[in-house]
Amino acid sequence: MVKGGRSYSTEDKQEAMGLYLRGHEGTEIARKLNDRYDYSLTAQTIKRWARLGGWDEYRNQVEIDLIEHTRKTVVNDMSKNMHELEEARQEFLTSLREGRSEVRGHEFVKMTEMLGKLQDIEADKKDMVLHINKCINDALAEMDLDKQLKQKFLRLYISKLRGDIDG
Are the C-beta atoms of 39 and 15 separated by less than 8 Å? no
Label residues 12-33 b or e (16+ Cβ within 10 Å = b): bbebbbebbbebbebeebbebb
- pLDDT per residue, tens digit, the chain (167 aa), is 444 556 799 999 999 998 888 888 999 999 999 999 999 999 999 999 999 999 888 887 877 777 777 777 777 777 777 777 778 778 877 877 787 776 666 777 777 787 777 778 777 777 887 788 788 888 888 888 787 788 888 777 777 776 665 54
The per-residue pLDDT for 165 is 58
Are the C-beta atoms of 106 and 84 separated by less than 8 Å? no
Q: Count Cβ atoms below 10 Å from residue 37 Cβ, excluding itself.
A: 13
The per-residue pLDDT for 72 is 74
- Which residue ranges make up each domain of the chain? 2-53, 57-162
H-state helical runs in the chain: 10-21, 26-37, 43-53, 55-97, 105-142, 147-162
The per-residue pLDDT for 164 is 65
- Whole-model pTM? 0.44
Chain-centre distance of CA 84, in angstroms? 24
